[in-house]
Amino acid sequence: MIEVRNVSKRYGNVKALEGVTSKVKNGEFVSIVGPTGSGKTTLLNIIAGLLTPTEGDVIVDDVSLYELSPSERTAFRRKKFGFIFQSFNLISYLTAIENVEIPLYLAGVQQTEQRIIAKRLLDKVGLRDRLSHLPSELSTGEQQRVAIARALASNAAVILADEPTGNLDMRTAEELMRYLKELNMGGVTVLLVTHNPQIAGFADRKIQIVEGRLI
Amino acid sequence: MRTLDFVTKELGRRKWRSTTGILCIILGISIFVAAQTTNKALYDKTKEQLLRLGANIIVQPKEEPFDIYSGLSASSATLPEMYADKIRSIEHSKMLVAVSPKLYERFAVGEVNLLVAGITDDERRAKPWWMINRMVLIGEFPQDKEVLLGHYAGAHLGAVSQIELNNETFSVTGVLDETGSADDFMAFVILNVLQDLTGKRRMVSMIEVSTSCIACPKMDIYDVANEIDKALPDDAAVIPIKQIAEAQIGTLTQIEDFTRVIYIVVLCLGAFLMMNYMFSSVSERRHEIGILLAIGMDAGEIYKVFILKALILGVVGGFVGYVAGTLISMVASPRIADASISPLPQLLPYSAVLSTVICVISSILPARRAAQLDPVEALREV
């Protein structure tokens, strides 16, 4: 369970979020929707433990995220969350398989084991033949699938996806969403930030933000 | 994946950028090695040239010293010739280039009052610049009843093929080219011949000692003079020739100081270039650092990646810089300093360690900056 308790975030006089309170149950597929600049990504970053709120707290499985030290929070994030970003955010000088191995390396998995798991995950997202390709040698759809494999590598219970379809054509975007839905059916909680209502339609529930407030 | 892979793969797959980075340190280290190698050659050459200034220690009778500056008046006081052997057997004898015992005596040769020096074969080693018609001496060095004339002594005597000393005839083997020293006014015969001629058997007027600090870089000629003084009885005065000694020590000190300045400049230059490169590397990789922090790499690990990169650049830069610096000095030094260069393999470990230390120290601040990046800020930059 992810519980957002009265979270506010201000940058000087600018209010990015104001008194946001919400709950996401384990295994839910929730989309956070709203216009550009409404505070969706800020909320996702706060839930991920990447951005300290000005007020309020985030509780994930009974752990108060912002009562942890920064290094404890990093370790918690590593175990609990998988990330998918709009611009894929693959490491440009690492091959597809090496990118997928990163969370496994961070989790302390042995090198040979890392390779086996990463191969299996890339196979699962249909990239068996692209293991040794650099991100620049992959199509945008393929890059996003590598990002998904990387998000799954740590066996994360929660996938946090920030506009994951923003750089994809509609067909590839729908393919990705079906894949996320499939993951969710397998018990993974998915929190999806999007401004696209069609993409948001894949979720079980929508949280709408306008000017930093839930409506 | 391993921590090391983040470094090696980045270096390997961003070859142009990595080359720029490694060039910073190669430049610094190659200048360091080139300066060291060239200075060593200059140092050796200067020592050799200083040696050519002549004897730098004189051993004389304490009671009535010989006038070493004019060299034109003889003294009756003498020392046993065996003192030369005592000098040759001092602890740091490898610093002795030549130990040349000499006996001086004046003779009337026609109208000329000629100062004759009895010398041994050591004189040839001590005075490699003695020449006749710009050629080094071969057969002209005097033997038995032969005499070699100094430049002006020869001019005063005229073109003679033989002279008489104490009613004994000596054939003239040659007239030396001008040396600019007291040697120009003397004649030279073999020491034991002069000893027999004057009745001063096994006695000498002075012993000239030429030293070189090359064999024992930590000693100077004052140390050698002290050692000789301890080896000889009290009747011998051991005099290091101050001007030559000070010129020798002064010049070598200047070379060392110059080298030290080069080291400091190179150290600062290398560190500055490396720090600059690492800061720009952190700046370029902000987005990547943001991704890694977001997916769970902790700040310590990010710090480690940058320090490891500095370590690898340092070791590789040290080795390549050594080779480049040696090549630079071998090509440039003979033209600039007229000195022949030999590679100094002992500089290799120094270069590697120096380069690594510079790289690591100058990467501490950039690495810390990388580790302290705000992942959300960094992720915003695409």
**CA of B376, closest CA in chain A: separation in Å?**
7
**Four-point Cα dihedral B289, B295, B300, B302, nearest 10:** -30
How do residues B169-219 score in pLDDT, each as one tens digit? 999 999 999 988 888 999 999 999 999 999 999 999 999 888 775 555 566
**CA–CA separation, B294 and B221 (whole Å):** 68
Cβ(B362)–Cβ(B271) below 8 Å = yes
Q: Give per-10-residue mean pLDDT for chain A (215 aa).
A: 90 87 91 88 89 90 88 87 83 93 91 93 88 91 88 87 82 84 90 88 90 85
Query: pLDDT tens digits, residue range B7-65?
Result: 888 888 878 878 887 888 888 888 888 888 887 777 777 666 665 555 678 898 887 66
CA angle B354, B344, B333 (to 5 degrees): 100
**A91, B291: Cβ pair inside 8 Å?**
yes
B4 touches chain A (CB under 8 A): no
Paired sense of beta strands B206-211 and B57-61, if any: antiparallel
* B86 close contact with A: CB closer than 8 A: no
CB contact B382 to A (< 8 Å):
yes
* Residue whose C-alpha is closest to residue A77's, from B305, B299, B6, B370: B299
Residue A59 three-state SS: strand
How far apart CA B247 and CA B249 sit, in angstroms, is 6
In this predicted structure, what is the pLDDT of residue A14? 86
Q: Which residues of B touch A65 (CB under 8 A)?
A: none
B4 → chain A, closest CA residue: A105
For residue B334, what is the enclosing H or E element? helix B299-336
Set of chain B residues whose Cβ sits within 8 Å of the Cβ of A134 = 13
Burial class (CB in 10 A: 0-12, 13-18, 19+), B247: middle
CB contact under 8 A, B379 and A92: no
Which is nearest to B55 in space by CA: B225, B176, B189?
A: B225
Interior angle at CA B51, CA B46 and CA B54, nearest 5: 145
Would you tell me how many other CB atoms lie within 10 Å of the CB of residue B153?
24
On whether any CB of chain A is under 8 Å from the CB of B5, the answer is yes
CA angle B342, B348, B352 (to 5 degrees): 150
Rounded distance, CA B66 to CA B59, Å? 10
Please give the structure tokens belonging to residue B15: 């070859």
Per-residue pLDDT tens for B100-148? 999 998 898 888 889 999 999 888 777 877 888 888 777 778 888 899 9
> How many C-beta neighbours within 10 Å does residue B212 have?
20
**Given CB atoms, is B10 within the 8 Å cutoff of chain A?**
yes
Q: State pTM to two decimals.
A: 0.67
Contact B297 A106 (CB under 8 A): yes
Q: Which two tokens stand for residue A186?
A: 């397998």
